[in-house]
Structure 1
Amino acid sequence: MAPLNYSKWDNIELSDDEDVEVHPNVDKKSFIRWRQQAIHRERLEREAKIEAMSKHVASQTECVAELDRVLSVLKEGNKVQFQSWLQTMQEHAQQRQADPKAQAVASPTMPSARDMLSSMAASILTEIGAKDASLEQVMTQFTSGLDSHRKKLTVDIDMDTKKLDELEREKRHKVSVDELCRPGFDKTNVNKVAKAPAIVRQDDLSAESSSTAKPTTTKTVQSIEVLNADTLEANETEAKAVVKRPEPPEPVLTVEQIVDEFSDAKDMDATLKYISKYPNIVDESISDEILVKAFELGMINESAAAYKCVHQALILQYCARLGNNGVSIFVMRYKSDPRAKAMFEAEVKAMHQRIMERSKVLREERKANPKAEDIECIQLQTDDPEAPIEINVPSDELLNSDQLSEADVKVKELYLSLPEYFRKALQVGTLDKVNEAFAQMPGAEAEKVLNTCTEGGFIAIAGEMVVDPDDVPPVSTPKS
């Protein structure tokens, strides 16, 4: 067995070593505290030196790179670029002299690269003096001067780099607790179970929103005189403070939204992602709604979109019929068993073909008898066959009078706007007669007449009134 290596612990600085020996006149605890303070002070000073030296070396390296660029311009004899550079350096020097804040912030031990270049240019111009020198002589003087400064900077960079390496080596030699111990996991993620949004129909949602008005209630409050009323109020305030706030309402998803979004899924992955987001849609009722959309698309000869709807509807049917784990079972069989996938695709194709054939037949029937489509009308029914029917027809006195209130004038105008044969049906006073009149007009006109009757209060049925556009009696010729 190889011996354990304890050499990595040799670099740890200990301020409270038990084996430390101090002078008898010096308190050991105080000595340990002073030593600890000295260790921390030296560590901070070393970090500050390393940071300052790194910035200084970087600034010097940048200055050398700029000097190389200027020297190349001088060697090429590019007078325009040299004059532009010299003007920039002079403006920078003037700006530093004019701005006291820049002088206060600038450090003489760590000047920036631009500061060093501007000072070099100023020193060379001082050496030239007030001599009436030509531009070529100035460029020659700058070439020799900048080259000399570059050599000095290169030597300084080498020396500073060695000092920086020595400081880094000393830092690595003296191990601190910060280098041995590092934070591991400082973040925790808790996955909360997302509640599936409620699924409602658009009609139910509209009915719910229309009945949100809160009824006015009268509340009787009994007042009891007690001692220490201030204490009682404080306790009640604390009790109210800890009352848990109600949770925000769950998102509501309508069936129409589900049908549109789910039928537009691009592939199986998008389909499964949507089902995992809204697991409540795995229901045959949703599948039926999607099949209805497929039939509507078939009626306008959108074969590809109808096929997609049939495909999505049958996925929901299969998943719903396979039980609680129907989604995972369906996916496993669909992806792993080619025969199961082929059977599923065959059923989708067969149902799509039936829908398209039936849609074609209906389209041909409508083309052969275009008036039959226009005569689709409204028929009124009640959920209770024995419910009393009240048909209110304005009296002859109201219709013949000229002095009426605004409400009576409105009722008179609505009644006279109805077709004459429909007014005669209202005067008979039976629901069958009214339905016969409805059957004589197209669907759009029937809806308009029904709205007029509702607004004027001409038809009132006790209980629930059902508007059925399918139960249409034989159409007779409209009466004039």
Structure 2
Amino acid sequence: MLILKLSDDSDIEGHPNVDKKSLIRWKQRDIHEKREMRKQNIARLRAQIACNNVLLPRIQEIASKLADPSPSTPHTAYFNALVERLEKNPSRDCPPGNNPDKLEQTYDGMLLSLVKKVGEESRHKVKEAGTLEAERDAKIATLLASQMKEHVARLTETIKKDSAELEKEEKEQKKHITSDDLHDGFESKYVPPPPEPAPIPHTKIDKGKGKGKSTTKTTEYEVLNPKAAAVQVDDEDEEEDEDLPELTPSLEAFSKIPVRAYEKSFEFIQAHRDVIVPGASDALLVAAFRSQSAGKSKYAKQCVHQSLLLQYCEKLGKDGVRVFFRKMIAADPRAESVFVNDVEGTYAHLVERVSLSLKEQAESSGKEQIQLVPENPEQTISFNVPDGPPPEDLVVEGPEAEKLDIEEVRKALQFRWEIFKAFPENLQEALKIGKLDAVNKVLGDMDVETAEGVVQQLDMTGILNFADGGIRDETNKQGQE
């Protein structure tokens, strides 16, 4: 049933002690206040559901790793490394409208708050139970897994409850049309359509015809979505040169929008018509392949996400953009699950293809290489480079400081410094720059055995940071404070 409310005063009965005009004003104010409260509640629920839908798979992944009966890394070590990464290298991705400069308003900040709470509660329970030292880590690991599993269940139930409330509020909202919702049926002014955007530019790939063609290499950009067109470069002897779609300035900006930030993507598309053009999704896949090859896994996944986003909009027909984003922004569980699974599967396939491509390139050059590559977009490879030997007045701070032997710490820092100084100068410079590409370039020039030894030393001394990496060198920072 549709209820049309025009704030008419004909149905308002008077009261002997109150004038009718006041009653009308009160009735109108009540209608507007309730409508505004419903709008605010709908907006709140949508934002809360969207945020929780981002956090849930991350919490599920943590719970899954903690429940793994045969992990590659001890559960407590993995958990501590996760906390350290969230504290020292958090992502600035955040829900629309939040301040990315405030950690607590970002997704990583919210996740950090949860895991710290879980860790503190688990350690407190073990301490209260008087668990033996030898059994402490195992008991903590069990509690961590149990609590994270419980939080997965709670958040799943919260999303379900909020979705039901949102559906109820939206149905109620659609029942009422107020005078504010009425508009003129026709506009007398004619607005000409905007001009067609320019096509996606392409870069020619020289096939190496004629002399020297036997020295050219083969690079292939394979189909990532079964329904998408192939983007391929093959250095076989062909009649014509092929070209690759390149990112336009608008597409490049579009590719930098965080994964699952649907409202930002929708607003961007509305403001930049040149994003919805033939070849745009392929250009994003090419950029993803190149970025993954360069070790920029997070950006590569963003490119895959935005490419599939455009493909879905196209496949949904003439009104595909509106249909797709309406479902995503409303956090339709079935629609979002299909899309997110497609993104994950496509990105996993891209990682596999890049790994194979790098291997083929190394083999074609007659030289095998050792390269540092993040295992997933959430992982960051960084380098903790010592500035010098440990100072005479070495101070160890932190909650576990009293348990450490200062001389053992000094020996570890001295050992790290000596290992670092023994590295070739070009490797030292690359490590100081702190860029993964620079370090990989130096490793690629080494023979495999030497490079493997260098990586082992980097990991052993804690200079290489995948997760937790031993004693962190803060000696130079102490002198600056």
Give the TM-score normalised by structure 1. 0.31
Q: Which one has more relative contact order, counting CA pairs under 8 Å at least 6 apart?
A: 2
Which entry has the higher C-alpha Rg, 1 or 2? 1
Give the TM-score normalised by structure 2. 0.31
